Amino acid sequence: MKNAPKIAFVTGFPIKQSKSPLIHGFWLDNLKIDGTYRAVELTEDGFSKFIAQLKSGDANFEGGNVTMPFKEAAFQLVDERDAIAEKIGAVNTIYRKEGKLCGTNTDAYGFAANLDDLVPQWRPKPEIFSKAVVFGAGGASRAILYALIEAGFSEIALYNRTLSRAEKLADEFGDTITAYKMDDVGEGLKEANLFVNTSSLGMHDTPVPDLNFASMADGAIATDIVYHPLKTKFLENAEKQGIAIADGFGMLLHQAVPGFEHWFGVRPEVTKTLRDTILNG
């Protein structure tokens, strides 16, 4: 008997802006997999009911993605969370394992895999001092801090408008991280190897602080998790000052890889054709 097609979801509120159906649809088509990936728009209340249906088997999904504003609720509601989800405090990917509903977070993986693609030299060399500057200490910053610690940065300077939020993350993530107030970021860039914007500044071309990227170390890199526009003002300024840049769009593509593999059993690839298709989609 033919197996029933596998189905995965993405849920959030709103959800119609999500690129995930395009990404997973591209892979399903290209890999000729008999499966479906569909957007499910839910309210807060609807979300917990949906998770209960997944647990009871009433909703026939292999699993799916969770986006704003349900990532923290998903963290609370799944049966099991892996170590990454625990540290990041949010779940963006749900899958089934041995009858349980498991939650993970693939944002740190997506961030690192995007840089591996675009600027592979971003990874620090063991034994050589390396410094990363992270701008923004909101929800999105947690996955980035996780990835930078995993990559082995010697020092991570975390800058935020609200200092207490940066201090809280520094306490939680350990000694590698030091918290500073936003106005001191210029000082922090001196001799740094990597700059990451995790704040919402620069989104839709909003103004950003004018930073002296030229004071960064030789071979330094700047990246931004904002990808509207693709080349944000942070990246534009950094590039003008001779710094290598990596846009954040690939993070969105790469973070989708582990989920697809969980649900459909094949590890898909992030290719230039995928990137061009989703950018134009």
Chain residues in the site for ligand ATR (CB under 6 A):
136-141, 160-162, 165, 182, 199-201
Q: Which of 2, 6, 49, 71 is catalytic?
A: 71
Indicate the angle between helix axes 20-30 and 257-264, nearest 10 degrees.
50
Whichever of 23 and 169 has its CB closer to ligand ATR, that residue is 169
Q: Which residues contact 98 (CB under 8 A, 6 or more apart)?
A: none
Whichever of 115 and 144 has its CB closer to ligand ATR, that residue is 144
Least separation, in Å, of the C-beta of 227 and ligand ATR? 13
Whichever of 76 and 200 has its CB closer to ligand ATR, that residue is 200
Largest CA distance in the chain: 66
Collapse the DSSP code of 217 into the 3-class scheme (helix H, G, I; strand E, B; otherwise coil) and give the result: coil
71 is catalytic: yes
Least separation, in Å, of the C-beta of 200 and ligand ATR? 4
Collapse the DSSP code of 64 into the 3-class scheme (helix H, G, I; strand E, B; otherwise coil) and give the result: strand
Whichever of 101 and 134 has its CB closer to ligand ATR, that residue is 134
Least separation, in Å, of the C-beta of 208 and ligand ATR? 9
The string of DSSP letters for 80-107 reads EE-HHHHHHT---EEEEETTEEEEE--H
Please say whether the dihedral angle defined by the alpha carbons of residues 227, 233, 237 and 240, taken in this order, is positive or negative.
positive
As a whole number of angstroms, the distance between CA 11 and CA 88 comes to 19
Whichever of 138 and 186 has its CB closer to ligand ATR, that residue is 138
As a whole number of angstroms, the distance between CA 178 and CA 148 comes to 13
Q: Cα-flanking dihedrals φ and ψ of residue 97, to 5°?
A: -145, 120
Least separation, in Å, of the C-beta of 134 and ligand ATR? 10
- According to DSSP, the β-strands at 80-81 and 100-104 are parallel
Whichever of 34 and 205 has its CB closer to ligand ATR, that residue is 205
Residue closest to 84 by CA, chosen among 258, 260, 261, 265 = 258
Residue nearest to ligand ATR (CB): 138
Collapse the DSSP code of 178 into the 3-class scheme (helix H, G, I; strand E, B; otherwise coil) and give the result: strand
Least separation, in Å, of the C-beta of 177 and ligand ATR? 14
Least separation, in Å, of the C-beta of 209 and ligand ATR? 8
As a whole number of angstroms, the distance between CA 278 and CA 281 comes to 5
Strand partners, 132: 156, 194
Q: Residue 72: in which H helix or E strand, if any?
A: helix 71-77
Q: Catalytic residue numbers? A: 71
